[in-house]
């Protein structure tokens, strides 16, 4: 019998385009409800996909501070979120909530 070799899924490996990233963040925002850690983790995944070192340069923040803020236990302030989104080339939009 042949062994099947698996490895853990890493979403960051599949975020290759701006459209991929925007769709991923849209889904994360919809799924998160009022859980800021969920959004921080999603932003951290996108940051890893793009490269944390480059993102640190683009935001003017220390790489370690970004890792901390964008970790599942992180709680980035809104200014950090806006800096990260701008550096990633992602715009934040508002839309009316749907009843549900």
Residue 100 has pLDDT above 60, yes or no: no
Specify the pLDDT at position 99.
Answer: 63
What dihedral do alpha carbons 80, 81, 87, 89 form, nearest 10°?
A: -170
Whether residue 87 lies inside any domain: the answer is yes
Whether residue 10 lies inside any domain: the answer is no
Whether residue 79 lies inside any domain: the answer is yes
Specify the pLDDT at position 39.
Answer: 87
Whether residue 18 lies inside any domain: the answer is no
Whether residue 26 lies inside any domain: the answer is no
Residue 60's CATH number: 1.10.260
Which comes out higher in pLDDT, residue 91 or 99?
Answer: 91
Structural domain total, the chain: 1
The domain in which residue 62 lies consists of: 36-91
Whether residue 53 lies inside any domain: the answer is yes
Whether residue 46 lies inside any domain: the answer is yes
Whether residue 13 lies inside any domain: the answer is no
pTM of the model: 0.81
pLDDT tens digits along 15-45: 999 899 999 999 998 898 888 888 888 999 9
Question: How many residues comprise the chain?
Answer: 100
Please say whether the beta carbons of 15 and 45 come within 8 A: yes
- Taking the alpha carbons at both ends of the chain, their separation in whole angstroms is 49
Cα gap 64→81, rounded to integer Å: 15
pLDDT tens digits along 63-86: 999 988 888 787 888 899 899 999
């Amino acid at each position: 019998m042949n062994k099947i070799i698996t490895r853990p899924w890493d979403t960051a490996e599949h975020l290759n385009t701006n459209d991929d990233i925007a769709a991923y963040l849209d889904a994360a925002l919809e799924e998160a409800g009022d859980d800021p850690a969920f959004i921080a983790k999603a932003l951290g995944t996108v940051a890893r996909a793009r490269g944390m070192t480059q993102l640190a340069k683009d935001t003017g923040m220390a790489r370690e501070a970004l890792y901390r803020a964008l970790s599942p236990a992180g709680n980035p302030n809104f200014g950090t979120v806006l800096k990260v989104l701008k550096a990633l080339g992602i715009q934040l939009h508002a839309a009316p909530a749907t009843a549900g």
